[in-house]
């Protein structure tokens, strides 16, 4: 990972938002211009380009992310 990418990528162990997927996860690794995220309560990791993540630390962001995840789960189960 270049110095610029490293400066832009959230630190391992912090929360970050996948901008395109509108999901929040814990940063578990950073390598080769990508960030690996895992859902806060555990689950399958996913990979996002460094430019596709942003730090996550605002209470309003947290509520928005939880609502988006609940809606996604409902859609996946055919409830919405």
Q: Secondary structure of the chain in the HEC alphabet?
A: CCHHHHHHCCCCCCEEEECCCCEEEEEEEEECCEEEEEECCCCCCEEEEHHHEEECCCHHHHHHHHHHHHHHHHHHCCCC
- pTM, whole model, 2 decimals? 0.66
Q: Chunk the chain into consecutive blocks of 10 residues (it has 80) and report each block's average pLDDT, rounded to whole numbers.
A: 58 92 93 94 94 82 76 80
| Domain extent listing, the chain | 3-75
Model pLDDT, residue 28: 97
Model pLDDT, residue 5: 46
Query: Hey, what CATH class is 3-75 in?
Result: mainly beta
């Amino acid at each position: 990972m270049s110095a610029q990418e490293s400066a832009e990528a959230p630190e391992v162990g912090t929360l970050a938002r996948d901008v395109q997927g509108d999901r929040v996860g814990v940063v578990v690794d950073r390598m080769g211009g990508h960030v690996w995220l895992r859902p806060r309560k555990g689950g399958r990791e996913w990979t996002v380009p460094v430019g596709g993540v942003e730090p996550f630390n605002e209470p309003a962001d947290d509520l928005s992310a939880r609502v988006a995840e609940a809606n996604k789960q409902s859609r996946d189960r055919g409830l919405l």
